[in-house]
Amino acid sequence: MVGVKIINTQKKRFAYLGSILVGFINGLLGAGGGMLAVPLLKKAGAEQKQAHATSIALILPLCLFSATLYLINGKVTFSDAVGYLPAGTVGAVIGAFLLSKIKDSWLRKIFALFIIWSGVRMWFR
């Protein structure tokens, strides 16, 4: 497996500061923090796949905290979410194995087009 590069302290500091923004996006939009975390982690010295994997280690506790705040504020209940969990866990297993198997650039392109299209539709909803 690829090793960790020697990490420049200043770039690490940049990543630490940036993590506040990652959390902000996670709390504000309930998603998308990882999109920001991956480039930050790469700047701090992580390889591509390490950055994707590490972003999940970062996002999980943030999700826990965000979800708790949403639950406390009554924005969502457990029963709203429970129906989606079986499908999600199946997908998570597939996705986690795929990460180390495939070259993901084609997936990214499709995904990019999909979210642009969705963004436009949501704007004019």
Partner 1 sequence: MVQIGNVYMWLAGILSGIIGAMGIGGGGVLIIYLTLMAGVDQITAQGINLLFFIPCAVIALVIHSRKKLIIWRLALPMILGGLVGVAIGAYSAEMIGPNMLGKIFSAFLIFIGLRELFARRKEDDGIKKSSR
Site for partner 1 in 30-49 (CB under 8 A): 30-35, 37-38, 40-42, 44-49
The answer to whether the CB of 66 falls within 8 A of the CB of 27 is yes
6 near partner 1, judged by CB under 8 A:
no
Q: Between residue 48 and residue 67, which ones bind partner 1 under the rule CB under 8 A? A: 48-67
Q: Pick between residue 10 and residue 87 the one whose CB is nearest to partner 1.
A: 87
Handedness of CA 117, 25, 108, 86 (dihedral sign): negative
Q: Between residue 77 and residue 116, which ones bind partner 1 under the rule CB under 8 A? A: 78-100, 103-105, 107-109, 111-116
Q: Hey, what are 92's tokens?
A: 């998570």
Half-sphere CA count of 8, side-chain side, radius 13 A: 10
